Structure formats: C-alpha cells, structure tokens
Structure 1
Amino acid sequence: MASFKRWLDRRRNPWKGVFYDAFRTWRRQNGQARLVQYQDLGPGDVVFDVGAYKGEWTDTVLGQQPAAQMHLFEPHPGFAKALEQKFVGRDHVHVHELAIGSTTGTMELSDAGDASSSVADHGRAFEAKTMSVSDFFAHTPVDRIALMKVNIEGGEYDLLPALIESGDITKIDRLQVQFHLFEPDMKAMRDDIRARLEATHHCVWSYPFVWEEWQLRP
C-alpha cells in the first residue's frame, strides 16, 4: 500500500520526483548507516540537535560519545517537557524549548508529532517560542559546534539563511540537514542555500530532500 501511495503521489506531483529518486538511492546505498557515524566526536564536543522530537538522534550521538555537550532544540512544549524528563540529571544535555531561526518572538506551528511545522498545514496548531540565532549565541556563547543536525519540517529555509547572514555558520564543523519538499518552489530555495553554503562548507554527500552533509572548509 505504501509503495502505491508513493507512486500515486509522484504521478500527481511530478515535481516530487527528485525526492523519490533520491530516497530510492538512499535505501539502496544504506544512507542511514552513513548518516549516523559519529565516532570522531571527542569528549566535550558541542552538538546541536535541531528538531529533537523524542531525542532518538541524541541517544545515537551519546551512544558513540557519552561526554558530548548536547543542545536539543524542540519548540513543541509537550515534547520539550518529555525531553527534560528523559535527560534529567545529565548536566551535559541542555533542552531548549524553542525554535532557532531569523527572529525572536513566537510563531504558529502545525501540530503533527514529528512532522510539526511552520510551513506544512496539518490542521491543528500551537504557538511556539522562537529565538534568532544572534540572540541565542549572545545568551549561550558557543565558539565551535562539532556537529549540527537539522530536521525541522521546512524551518531549515529560515534557519540556514539566518546562520549564513549572521556569520555563525562558520562555527559549525559538520552540518547534517534534511531539506523538505512541500511545494515546487522549495527546489529553488534549496539550490540558493546550497550555493551560499559553498562559500564556507563543502558538500560531503547528498541525497536531495532526504539527507545531506556539509563540512567546514579548512
């Protein structure tokens, strides 16, 4: 049934073909294994989990480097509270109940579990706190981020330009991002961000609109 739904979706929305082709390649090449290789992290390295949800990715990182300094960003109040409870007593795990991006204030997010988004409309909504990257780094001084994972359901189109424009993108040694393809215009938006990233980082591998990794240039 799932394969039929994907076939139907692609037939109705041919602009999604780039995602379906990349996803097929991702699965064939076992891209998930490439995504979660973090043995090079050292004790005390700072890691940002942007879009932490239930903390599974953080668990993966801590499984390979238990002494990493983790910063978890989760704007959904219910998920943020669950993360605080999950990691209680672990002083090197910091939960931030907010979304980082271009502005400080609030925004309306659709409420759909791990697909909660400021871009996609899922019917239900909640108000979430936001903080600009400049304000965040002013309150939480961080000189170097060894690894940042970004999976925020379209919010990457706000966050990454904000990091680039503020210059904070140069703090990130290794960036893993999942671009989302909710509408055709997002192809051009991704292309623009990737072109701007090239000034500071190089793309190590890419499965368009599935996952890709960038590393800071020497």
Structure 2
Amino acid sequence: MASLKKWLDRRRNPWKGVFYDAFKRWRRENGPARLYDYAGLPAGAVVLDIGAFRGEWSDLVLAAQPDCTIHAFEPHPGFAKGLREKFAGDARVIVHDFALGSEPGTLRLSDAGDASSGVAAHERAFEAQIVPVHQFFADTPLPRIDLAKLNIEGGEYDLLPALIAGGQIAAIARLQVQFHLFEPGFAALRDSIRHDLDKTHDCVWEYPFVWEEWQRQTS
C-alpha cells in the first residue's frame, strides 16, 4: 500500500521525482551509515542539534563523543519539555525551546510530531518563539562549532541564508542538512543556498531532499 501511495504521489507530482530517486539511492547505498558517522568528532566538540525532536540524534552524538556540548533547539513545547526531562542533570546538553531564524517573531507551526513545520500545512498548530540566529550567537558565544544538524521541516530556507549572510556559517566545521521539498519552488531555493554554501564549504555527499553534508573548506 505504501509503495502504491508513493507511485501515485510521484505520478501526480512529477517534481517530487528528485526526492524519490534520491531516497532509493539513500537506502541502496546505506546513507545512514554516512549520516551517523561521528567517530571523528574531537574531544570538547561543540554541536548544534537544530530540530532536536526527542533527542535521538543527540544520543548518537553523545555515544560517539561523550566529551562534547550539545545545544539542542526544539520549538515544539511538548518535545522541548521532554528534552529537558530526558537530559535533566546532564550538563552536556543545553535545551533551547525556540526556533532559530532570520528575524524575531512568532512562528505558527503545524503539530505533526517529527514533521511539525512552519511551512507544511496540518490541521493542528501551535505558536513558537523565533530568536534571530545572530542574536543567539551574540548572547551565547561559542568557541567553535564542530558539527551542526538541521532538520527543521522547511525552516532551513530561512535559517541557512541568515547564517550565510551574517557570516556565522564560517564557524561551522561540519554541516548536515535535510532540505524539504514541500512545493516545486523549493528546488530553486535549495540550489541558491547550495550556491552560497559552496563559497565556504564543500559538499562531501548528497542525497537531494533526503540528507547532505557540507564541510568547511580548509584553504
């Protein structure tokens, strides 16, 4: 049934083909093994988990490098509460219950579990605070950022240009991002962001609209 639904979705929305093709390759080439390879993180690493959800990704990073500090961003009030409870007493994980963005404000998010989004439409919704990313870095100086993961259901199209324009992107040594393809125009937005990322980082692997990784250029 799931395969039939995907086939029908692709037939009705041919612009989604790039995602379906990439996802097949992701599974065929064991993409998760690349995504979750954190053995090279140095001791004392500073990590950003942007879109932390229930903290499973932070768990993987902590298992690979116990001597690290993770800033976990989760605007969903229920998931943020769960993160605070999960990591209570663990000074390595700092939970921020807001979204990072280009401008201050309030974000109306659909409430759909790990797919909660300020872009995709769902029946239930909630409001969340947006903190400008430049303000966060001004208020929370970080010595370095060894790894950042972005999975924010369309919010990447606002946050990444802000990081690039403000120059904070240069502080991130390793960036993993899931771009989302909610509508045809998002393909051009992704291309534009990747063009700008290419000035400071190299794309070391990519599965379009599934996951991709960028590493800061050394020269």
**Match of residue 176 from structure 1:** 176
Paired letter, 1:192: S
Alignment of 1:69 with 2:69, yes or no, is yes
**Match of residue 4 from structure 2:** 4
Distance 2:185 2:63 in 1: 38
Paired letter, 1:91: A
Please report how far the alpha carbon of residue 105 of structure 1 lies from its aligned counterpart in structure 2 after TM superposition. 2.3
Q: Report if the CA contact (8 A) 1:104-1:135 is conserved.
A: no
Which sections of structure 2, spanning at least 5 residues, go unmatched? none
Distance 1:140 1:126 in 2: 26
Instruction: Tell me the alpha carbon deviations over residues 102-125 of structure 1, each in whole angstroms, 9 at most, x when there is no partner.
Output: 012211111111000010001111
**Match of residue 117 from structure 2:** 117
Alignment of 1:38 with 2:38, yes or no, is yes
Please report how far the alpha carbon of residue 193 of structure 1 lies from its aligned counterpart in structure 2 after TM superposition. 0.2
Distance 2:95 2:36 in 1: 21
**Match of residue 103 from structure 1:** 103
Please report how far the alpha carbon of residue 185 of structure 1 lies from its aligned counterpart in structure 2 after TM superposition. 0.1
Please report how far the alpha carbon of residue 208 of structure 1 lies from its aligned counterpart in structure 2 after TM superposition. 0.3
Paired letter, 1:147: L
Distance 1:208 1:59 in 2: 25
Alignment of 1:20 with 2:20, yes or no, is yes
Instruction: Tell me the alpha carbon deviations over residues 25-73 of structure 1, each in whole angstroms, 9 at most, x when there is no partner.
Output: 0000000111000011122110000000000000010011111100000
**Match of residue 94 from structure 2:** 94
Paired letter, 1:198: D
Instruction: Tell me the alpha carbon deviations over residues 64-92 of structure 1, each in whole angstroms, 9 at most, x when there is no partner.
Output: 11111000000001100100000000111
Q: Report if the CA contact (8 A) 1:201-1:217 is conserved.
A: yes
**Match of residue 190 from structure 1:** 190
Please report how far the alpha carbon of residue 210 of structure 1 lies from its aligned counterpart in structure 2 after TM superposition. 0.3
Please report how far the alpha carbon of residue 143 of structure 1 lies from its aligned counterpart in structure 2 after TM superposition. 3.4
Distance 1:36 1:185 in 2: 29
Paired letter, 1:68: C
Please report how far the alpha carbon of residue 12 of structure 1 lies from its aligned counterpart in structure 2 after TM superposition. 0.5
Alignment of 1:143 with 2:171, yes or no, is no
Q: Give the alignment's Cα RMSD to 1 decimal.
A: 0.6
What SS does the aligned partner of 1:94 have? Answer: strand
- Give identity over the alignment, percent: 65
Comparing 178-187 and 143-152, the one that deviates more = 143-152
Paired letter, 2:172: I
**Match of residue 126 from structure 2:** 126
Paired letter, 1:58: S
What SS does the aligned partner of 1:130 have? Answer: strand
Please report how far the alpha carbon of residue 18 of structure 1 lies from its aligned counterpart in structure 2 after TM superposition. 0.2
**Match of residue 157 from structure 2:** 157
Distance 1:117 1:85 in 2: 23
What is the count of residue pairs matched by the alignment? Answer: 218
Distance 2:190 2:53 in 1: 23
Instruction: Tell me the alpha carbon deviations over residues 161-193 of structure 1, each in whole angstroms, 9 at most, x when there is no partner.
Output: 000000000000000000000000000000000
